[in-house]
Each structure stands twice: as C-alpha cells, then as structure tokens.
Amino acid sequence: MALDAALGLLACPTCAARLSRDGGSLLCQQGHRFDIARQGHVNLLGRAAPANADTAQMVAARARFLGAGHYQPIVEALRSRVRQASRIVEVGAGTGHYLAGVLDSQPDAVGLATDVSPLAARRAAKAHDRMGSVVADTWAGLPIRSGAADVLLCVFAPRNPTEFARICRQGSLLLVVTPNDGHLAQARERLGLLGIQDDKLAKLNRSLSGAFEAIWSQRIRWTMELDAAAVTDLVQMGPNAFHEHGQAAEPLTVDADVQLSVFRRPIC
C-alpha cells in the first residue's frame, strides 16, 4: 500500500523511534502500535480530532473543486520549484491534491501527507501510489523523523516554524502558498466570506526568520469561471464552512490571487 512508501519518514508520536510495518499496524521498537485503517491511512494523533477539522462534506467539496482543475496554476507553480527531490512532505494536506501533483513530476520521490482530519487523511491515502497519509496535528508536533524531508509543502495550511525546521534537512526547501488581498474577492463580497489577514506575507517571512531563508517569491493570478455548484464547493471546502455566509445561486467570475514563497533551510 502507499503508506509503505513513506515509512522511512515516520517517527513514533510517543517516543520518536522509527516505525515499521507489522501486518496491519505500524510498530516502533518500544512496542507502541498504531493500527492502519482499511482505507490505508494511519491515525498518529493520539486523541480526538479538533472541532475545526475538515468534515466529510468539506473533504468532498474540496475533492470536487480541486479535481475540476480550478487551482491547477498552484500545482504547476509548485512543480516548477521542485527538482530531484526524494522525500516530500505536505502538512495540512487535506485530500493530498497538491502533493500528488508534485509527485507526478518527481518519479523517484516518495511523499507523506499529514492532516488533523481523519476524513481528509482517508481521502489522501488514495491520492497517489507513492504517498502515505497520516492523521497528525502540525501544532502539537509532527510524527516525522528529524531531517527527513527534502521538500516541505504548506498550501493554505497552518505553519509551525519550529517543527518545520526540525523535520527539514539542511538545504531543503519549504514551499508556502498564501492568499493575497485580491484572492476570491468577488466571492467574498457577494457571499460575505471571511476576510484575509492584513500583511500576511510580511508576517510569514517574520515567522520563519532564523529557521529558514527566503530565496524566491511569485505572485500567481488567474480568473475562474465557476458555475453555482463550483462556487458552493469553493465556499464549503474551507474555513467558511464553519461560518454563516450567503448561498451561491448563479455562476460567478472569481479572481484567484496567491503567493508562492520559497524558503531554504540553511546549511550550517
């Protein structure tokens, strides 16, 4: 199964020892055992998922929206910055769409998707045959070996600079995608969606300062012609699903405006 491809990246969330396959479970040398779900993912969270974890409806909406190619420019931009990687991790990976897209351009690489939602991890487990999927909380600590990642992806997801620095080897790349002020402006205005945090890019750079060096940045803009169903999926696949908002009743032209920021883990 795809999880086997990523075993070399994983660490026991209890004692940090390496994990190996033991039948239908993952097992460390200290005897900590974690059952592999029938769908192929494994829960290494050690507790119930938080209230803001993606629901089944959110995961399905994201799969439909991303599967339709509406955010393909993000996939292409990520691919353009990854060269000869062997171990790629995506945190807050959701359905694993972006990691799977990057793996398609890196035939010798293996991937690991992490997400705090068991339902998202279940979907990601089927996203690519060289990608494992685990349930984990970026804030609480990632069940990943120190220095294991050649490339780390973080697309519209929470960031933990300390953990990111720990799991990235020296010289590895961190690719972060964040929304710019104009992202989904028409949908936000029409439907009363959540706003975008001010000065987001500067805050990102400050938060990673010291652990990573900024080496490149690209603004990516495109326009999407969305029917009402696609607008509904766009709203339902993210945090807006937990908040009151208007309903999509007609097609809508929506501008996408995101920033790809590339950082490198310094070589000491």
Give the domain ranges of the chain: 2-51+71-179+194-218+259-264
215 within 8 A of 264, measured Cβ to Cβ = yes
Range name among 26-35, 172-181, 200-209, 210-219 with the lowest pLDDT average: 200-209
Count of C-beta atoms within a 10 Å radius of residue 1: 13
Mean of per-residue pLDDT scores for the chain: 96
Beta strands in 94-248 (DSSP E): 110-115, 131-135, 149-155, 168-179, 213-226
pLDDT recorded at residue 100: 98
Q: Yes or no: say if 258 and 180 are a contact pair by the CB < 8 Å rule.
A: yes
Which pLDDT band, with edges at 50, 70 and 90, does 234 fall under?
Answer: very high
Query: Three-state DSSP class for 114?
Result: strand
Helix (H, G, I), strand (E, B) or coil at 8: helix
Question: Cβ contacts of residue 38 below 8 Å, gap of 6+?
Answer: none
Q: How confident is the model at residue 198 (pLDDT cuts 50, 70, 90)?
A: confident
Is the per-residue pLDDT at 159 higher than 90? yes
What confidence score (pLDDT) does residue 249 get? 85
pLDDT at 266 over 90: yes
Q: Is residue 74 over pLDDT 80?
A: yes
pLDDT of residue 244: 87
Percentage of the chain beyond pLDDT 70 is 100
Quickly state the pLDDT bin for 201 (edges 50, 70, 90): confident
How confident is residue 246, by pLDDT bands cut at 50, 70 and 90? confident
> Which residue bears the tokens 């171990």?
87
Separation between Cα atoms, residue 93 and residue 86, nearest integer Å: 18
Let me know if 55 is exposed, middle or buried by CB neighbors in 10 A (0-12, 13-18, 19+).
middle
Section 179-198 average pLDDT:
92
Element of type H or E holding 21: strand 19-22
Domain 2-51+71-179+194-218+259-264 sits in CATH at 3.40.50.150
Average pLDDT, integer, range 91-105: 98
Query: Could you tell me which residues come within 8 angstroms of residue 236 by beta carbon, excluding any fewer than 6 positions away?
Result: 57, 58, 61
Compute how many other C-beta atoms are within 10 angstroms of the C-beta atom of residue 98. 26
Q: Which residues have CB under 8 Å from 173's CB, separation 6+?
A: 81, 82, 150, 151, 152, 262, 263, 264, 265
* Alpha carbon distance 222, 240 (integer Å): 21
Mind listing the pLDDT tens digit for each residue in 16-62? 999 999 999 999 999 999 999 999 999 999 899 999 999 999 999 99
Averaged pLDDT, 179-208: 92
Instruction: Determine phi and psi for 15, rounding to 5 degrees.
Output: -125, -5
pLDDT value at 1 more than 80: no
pTM recorded for the entire structure? 0.97
